[in-house]
């Protein structure tokens, strides 16, 4: 059964399934949030989504070999570009329940949503 967040996705012009930061904040329960930025960005000025898991883009294919291809995944980065590439990579690997968060952490912060790890804090 498709997770509610995955079902809410719309396709970008490039064909990438995308959801908004507000949708992630309100509908992500039960989905795995994967932040594909680097360590210093994860704990930097933009912080990260509570419960997000850090898997830098360069390691995503290796890490994903151990993941359930049917589990709902939300890809996140700074502005949506890297996470869009991660979404495409995972789709090519056979993942069916994966979406990109549009606008990344820039949009998430601009929307005033809760973050953790901002400059090392909570």
pTM of the complete model: 0.94
- Please give the domain boundaries of the chain with CATH numbers for all domains: 4-120 (3.40.250.10)
* HEC readout, the chain: CCCHHHHCCEECCCCCEEECHHHHHHHCCCCEEEECCCHHHHCCCCCECCCCEECCHHHHHHHHCCCCCCCCEEEECCCCHHHHHHHHHHHHCCCCCEEEECCHHHHHHHCCCCCECHHHCC
pLDDT tens, residue by residue, 40-96: 999 999 999 999 999 999 999 999 999 999 999 999 999 999 999 999 999 999 999
pLDDT tens, residue by residue, 4-46: 999 999 999 999 999 999 999 999 899 999 999 999 999 999 9
């Amino acid at each position: 059964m498709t997770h509610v967040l995955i079902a809410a996705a719309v396709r970008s012009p490039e064909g990438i399934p995308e959801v908004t930061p507000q949708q992630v904040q309100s509908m992500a329960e039960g989905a795995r949030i994967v932040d594909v930025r680097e360590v210093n960005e994860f704990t930097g000025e933009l912080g990260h989504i509570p419960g997000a898991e850090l898997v830098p883009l360069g390691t995503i294919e290796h890490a994903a070999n151990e993941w359930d291809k049917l589990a709902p995944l939300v890809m996140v980065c700074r502005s949506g570009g890297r996470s869009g590439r991660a979404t495409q990579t995972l789709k090519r690997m056979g993942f069916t329940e994966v979406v990109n968060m549009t606008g990344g952490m820039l949009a998430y912060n601009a929307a005033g949503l809760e973050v953790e790890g901002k400059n090392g804090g909570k």
